[in-house]
Amino acid sequence: MKLKKNYLLSPGPTPVPPEVASAGAWPLIHHRTPQFQNIIKEVAQGLKYLFQTQHPVYFAACSGTGVMEAAVTNLMSPGEVMIVAEGGKFGERWSKIGAAFGCQVVPIKIEYGRGVTPEQVEAALKKNPGAKAVFTQLSETSTGCVFDIEAIGKVVAKTPALFVVDGISGLGAEVCYPDRWGVDCVLTGSQKGVMLPPGLGFISLSSKGWAACEKSKSPRFYFDLRAYKKALDKNDTPYTPAISLLFQLAEALKIIQKETIEGMWARHAWLGEATRSAVKALHLELFAERPGNVLTSVKTPAGVDGEKLVKEMRDDLGVTIAGGQEEMKGKVFRIAHLGYMDRFDILIAIGALETALKRQNFAMKLGAGVAAAQEILWQDPQR
């Protein structure tokens, strides 16, 4: 049997740095102790830096969907109107959560691959002047499209509505200034740009968001953010935390602060540019109208079996990328450049992509994609 190395280039989970992985094996300590309270205090400060906010960031043992639910239940009450930008699977998830808790969901239907525009949001707010909130994504992971949060924030700020942003895949990879851009709630998950295993969700509210939280009549218990606020004020958690993940979070935040948030944004932009350049050099077409630095979504070319491509790259070549989801299955494939990734991860991914395409007799020149990526990656922009 041949030797095969495995490389992870999916948009979640993403690779974990060795020092972060090692921290997960530290001996457990009790969570109601001064020693653990010191860790909570440390990560609380680091999370504010990652989020680029002056407001506290709360964490819970859950997936990103857990903090999406927390955003809905803490900000909305049954019967209230929530405007949702539906441009992919995760925008649609906002709508499903809102409906589950009795909200009146007003979707802005967007063609997959396109981003919601400020004009579309403004029109929806004018038609629904009593809307409680606008929900959207920083990066729609299912399509690779990044939304213009700064511009949308300016539109929402002219109204009483709250502005809620799912930053699950985008935070850390895309430039985002929640306080400056009028975002009232931003959230993320651990297995993306934060460079951790899955299992932690993070959420932060503005003062305006907290005012809504105090008045919300939605049923909530585990995700009642008032309990998390009360606990974090004492460097504590309301319920048993994911202790080992918090050990790992402390190490990951050290790496982030050493690189700097600006350095993270620059690295993701660099890797994203190289990946997009490689794709174009192979005569492939980008799927997203406004492609971001989280992942590159590519249209499966005619004559190529998209599902087979992803499977062969993973199972035979050892390079895991992501296929399309639900209605886009087989129609697109997605190469992530997110979290703990550097130039050679991209070169490996493009090399594997070329091999898989060649095996399906796709007309291309071997090495063209790698060469195009190298033209960008040969020099580190931060040097």
Tens-digit pLDDT profile for residues 62-88:
999 999 999 999 999 999 999 999 999
Q: Which long-range contacts (CB under 8 A, 24 or more apart) does 304-307 make?
A: 304/357, 304/360, 304/362, 305/330, 305/360, 306/330, 306/331, 306/332, 306/333
Tens-digit pLDDT profile for residues 167-223:
999 999 999 999 999 999 999 999 999 999 999 999 999 999 999 999 999 999 999
Q: Check whether residue 288 and residue 252 sit in a common domain.
A: no
Has residue 40 been placed in a domain?
Answer: yes
The yes-or-no verdict on residue 1 having pLDDT over 70 is no
High-pLDDT (> 90) share of the chain, %: 97
Q: Check whether residue 266 and residue 248 sit in a common domain.
A: no
Q: Check whether residue 239 and residue 288 sit in a common domain.
A: no
Could you tell me which of 268, 140, 245 has the C-alpha nearest to residue 198? Answer: 245
What angle, 0 to 180 degrees and rounded to 10, lies between the N-to-C axes of helices 261-281 and 243-259?
Answer: 80
Q: 51 pLDDT band (50/70/90 cuts)?
A: very high
How many CB atoms sit inside 10 A of residue 188's CB? 29
Instruction: Please work out, in degrees rounded to the nearest 5, the angle formed at the alpha carbon of residue 144 by the alpha carbons of 329 and 107.
Output: 85
Q: What is the pLDDT of residue 361?
A: 97
Q: Check whether residue 226 and residue 265 sit in a common domain.
A: no
The residue whose two tokens read 């921290």 is: 23
**Which one of 206, 239, 259 terminates a domain?**
259
Could you tell me which of 315, 312, 335 has the C-alpha nearest to residue 324? Answer: 335
Has residue 2 been placed in a domain?
Answer: no
The yes-or-no verdict on residue 4 having pLDDT over 90 is no
Q: What is the pLDDT of residue 344?
A: 97
Domains held by the chain: number:
2
**Which one of 199, 231, 259 terminates a domain?**
259
**Which one of 228, 259, 290 terminates a domain?**
259
Q: Which two tokens stand for residue 40?
A: 């909570």
What Rg do the C-alpha atoms of the chain give, in angstroms? 21
Q: Check whether residue 250 and residue 267 sit in a common domain.
A: no
Has residue 294 been placed in a domain?
Answer: yes
Residue length, the chain?
Answer: 383
High-pLDDT (> 70) share of the chain, %: 99
Q: What is the pLDDT of residue 178?
A: 98
Helix runs in 52-182, H state only: 64-75, 89-100, 118-127, 149-156, 178-181
Q: Check whether residue 255 and residue 268 sit in a common domain.
A: no
Average pLDDT over residues 114-141: 97
Q: Check whether residue 208 and residue 340 sit in a common domain.
A: no
Q: Check whether residue 191 and residue 60 sit in a common domain.
A: yes
Has residue 30 been placed in a domain?
Answer: yes
Burial of 177 (0-12, 13-18, 19+ CB in 10 A): middle
Note the pTM of the prediction, 2 decimals: 0.96
Instruction: Please work out, in degrees rounded to the nearest 5, the angle formed at the alpha carbon of residue 353 by the alpha carbons of 347 and 358.
Output: 130
Q: Check whether residue 279 and residue 363 sit in a common domain.
A: yes
HSE at residue 169, side-chain half, CA atoms within 13 A, is 27
Has residue 383 been placed in a domain?
Answer: no
Domain span holding position 318: 7-14+260-377
The yes-or-no verdict on residue 242 having pLDDT over 80 is yes
Q: Check whether residue 213 and residue 351 sit in a common domain.
A: no
Has residue 1 been placed in a domain?
Answer: no
The yes-or-no verdict on residue 381 having pLDDT over 80 is no
DSSP 6-29: -EE-SSSS----HHHHHHTTSPP-
Q: Check whether residue 134 and residue 72 sit in a common domain.
A: yes
Has residue 105 been placed in a domain?
Answer: yes
Tens-digit pLDDT profile for residues 152-183:
999 999 999 999 999 999 999 999 999 999 99
Q: Which two tokens stand for residue 191?
A: 């297995």
Looking up residue 294, the CATH number of its domain turns out to be 3.90.1150.10
Residues 100, 73: contact at Cβ < 8 Å? no
Q: What is the pLDDT of residue 383?
A: 63
Dihedral-angle region of residue 283 (phi above 0 means left; psi in -120 to 50 means alpha; beta otherwise): left
Has residue 199 been placed in a domain?
Answer: yes
Dihedral-angle region of residue 361 (phi above 0 means left; psi in -120 to 50 means alpha; beta otherwise): left
Q: What is the pLDDT of residue 380?
A: 83
Q: Which two tokens stand for residue 198?
A: 């899955």
Q: Check whether residue 228 and residue 285 sit in a common domain.
A: no
Element (H, E) at 137: strand 133-137
To the nearest whole number, what is the mean pLDDT of the chain?
97
Query: What sign has the CA pseudo-torsion 49, 51, 53, 56?
Result: negative
Instruction: Give bridge partners of residue 145 from the DSSP assignment.
Output: 140, 291
Looking up residue 86, the CATH number of its domain turns out to be 3.40.640.10
